[in-house]
Amino acid sequence: MITQSQAKELIDLARQSIRDFFENKKTSISDKIKKDFGKKQGAFVSVYVKDELNGCIGYPLPIKPLYEAVVEMAKFAAFEDPRFPPLLRSQMKDLRIEISVLTVPEEIKVKKAEEYQKKFKVGEDGLIVHDEFGGSGLLLPQVAVEWKWNEEEFLNQTCVKAGLNPDCWKDLRHKVYKFKAQVFTEKNGKVVKKQ
């Protein structure tokens, strides 16, 4: 579990990483940060400019230490999300950062597709859909809440994110995974946990 003060450190680290990118510098990491956030965890970084999403990229699986994932994904979200233009230096003053720290995704096993909707909770779980050819789509838990989706819409939209037909989850050759996330965002100059 990440505390609010730790989340502030991670968001500060993400912001520093973006600043350092503009300066063409490598982000320096303190021994304390390496110690506190050295465990491998999945993480996503979302960047907003004037409360409009301007990038969101992450690692769904725990393949890197958390501090490393945050530094890398902050830069990717700010400058390399193909859905958005790269962040401009002049936008830094309006930048808001959100960090989602993920649990390890677990496969939802069902015998019939209709059972999926009872196996996860909107607002608590994020979803991943994998097709049999290695394609995948992921949506964080907060996305379903922001769009007011029910379980079926959430499944449909995760399929769409994977570039598949909305009802692809009904084909049991596709695998559906769920995960939880602690989500922290900036609000009125403070770091708060997103409910």
Q: State percent of the chain over pLDDT 90.
A: 95
Give the SS3 label for residue 113: helix
CATH number for the domain running over 4-102: 3.30.700.20
- Paired residues of 44 in beta bridges: 58, 100
Q: 134 versus 37: which is more confidently predicted?
A: 37
Residues of the chain with CATH 3.30.1490.150: 106-180
Torsion sign, CA atoms 105, 106, 111, 114: negative
What average pLDDT score do residues 113-123 get?
A: 96
Class of domain 106-180: alpha beta
Determine the pLDDT at residue 121. 97
- Each residue of 125-180: pLDDT tens digit? 999 999 988 889 999 999 999 999 999 999 999 999 999 999 999 999 999 999 99
